[in-house]
Every structure is written in C-alpha cells, then in structure tokens.
Amino acid sequence: MKPIMRNNGLTLVLLGMFLFSLAGMALTGLASHNEELIQHGQRALPFGAYLTSGPFLSALFENWESEFLQMATYVVLTAMLFQRGSAESRDPDAPGRENDDLPWRARNPKLAWLYEHSLGLALAVLFIASFALHWWFSAIAANQEAEVHGRELKTMLGYLADSQLWFESFQNWQSEFLSTAVLVVLSIFLRQRGSPESKPVAADHSETGA
C-alpha cells in the first residue's frame, strides 16, 4: 500500500480534493437552487434531479472548459515561446531537450507527429468537449429560467450567439490566463523548495527552466 501512495500520491490527493470540491459544489448548489425555486413558488428539486439539471451541469462544464483551455494553451505556448528566467519556460539560448526525438520518426512521420503533439491535442479535445457540454446545459438552464419568467425559449443554435453563454466562458478564461501568466512571472523571482514547478532555491533569477 505504501509504494502505491508514494508513487501516486500527487494524483490521489488531487482526485480526493476534486471529489470533495465536487460534493461541496453539488450540495451548496442544490441549496441555492432550491431557495430560488421556492421564492418563485415552485417545488424544490431532490438531490438526484439537481445533479442532472441544466444549472448544475452548465456550471460544472463551464469550469472544466476553462481549465482544459488553460492547460491546452499553456502546453502549446510553452513549446513555442520563452520567458527568460522563468521555471515554466525552456531556456531561449538552449531550447533543445534530451530524448525529444523519436527514433522511429522517419519510418512513420504522421504517427510520430500525432504522438509528439498528443498532450496538447488531448487537452484541446477535452476543452472542445467541455465547451460543447457547457453550451448544451447552459441553454437548457437558460430556457428553464425563461419558462419560469414567461420569456421566449431559444434553440440550441440560437443560444450559441447568446451573450450569457460567452459571458460565462470569458469570465473564467480571463482568470485562467491571468493565473498562468502570474505563475510564469513569479517563478522567476520566488521559490518553492522541492517543487518541480520551481527553480532550485539557490538558482539565480536569470536562470531559465526548473
């Protein structure tokens, strides 16, 4: 058991934190949503019904969308751009890395290209899927609210041009890009002992890469 925890502790702890946060989101979201329904003279939703509702799933995938966009963008941009002195960047004076070339690339260049870019592509697919699910369930939530207030319902395609959908997306995107930029810059000057996201404690500020 100990080797499993030692070798996979980072993933297990993060998954535990994810499940704890997801449960907290579901419970507090249910309380808030039911309070609003009661104020409009409607029946409160049971927990299971709330978990499959438009408001909950829209909020869930709205956040996943921004996270996967952040990670996909970060992976791709760090492969192309530099920030001198940052632990999050390759050294602009020595951008090459060991073991960064596949020995079988010449035999199958297309498959090699896919493997060489598989991380960025996978994150991009997860972003697109999350955005599509956010769009779908946000439209359902918007139509449910419109029905309560007697407003006109929108089609899925029509909702794609709705300002509410894009407000929900952009309010998360801006925070993800800001936090990433802050990490890139702060890692030039600040340290976290033992972290692979930080330069060694005694490293010079001008030293680039972790």
- What is the Cα–Cα distance from 138 to 154, expressed in whole angstroms? 11
| Mean of all residue pLDDT scores within the chain | 94
* Residues 63-67: contacts with CB under 8 Å, at least 24 apart: 63/172, 64/126, 64/130, 64/133, 64/134, 65/127, 65/130, 65/131, 65/133, 65/134, 65/169, 65/172, 66/169, 66/172, 66/173, 66/175, 66/176, 67/176
Instruction: Say what the pLDDT of residue 30 is.
Output: 97
Instruction: Say what the pLDDT of residue 141 is.
Output: 94
- What is the Cα–Cα distance from 175 to 103, expressed in whole angstroms? 40
Structure tokens at 148: 């309560």
- pLDDT tens profile 44-92: 999 999 999 999 999 999 999 999 999 999 999 999 999 999 999 999 9
pLDDT higher than threshold 80 for residue 1:
no
pLDDT higher than threshold 90 for residue 195:
yes
Instruction: Say what the pLDDT of residue 78 is.
Output: 96
Dihedral of alpha carbons 30, 33, 35, 40, sign:
negative
Which sequence spans correspond to the domains of the chain? 1-52, 53-210
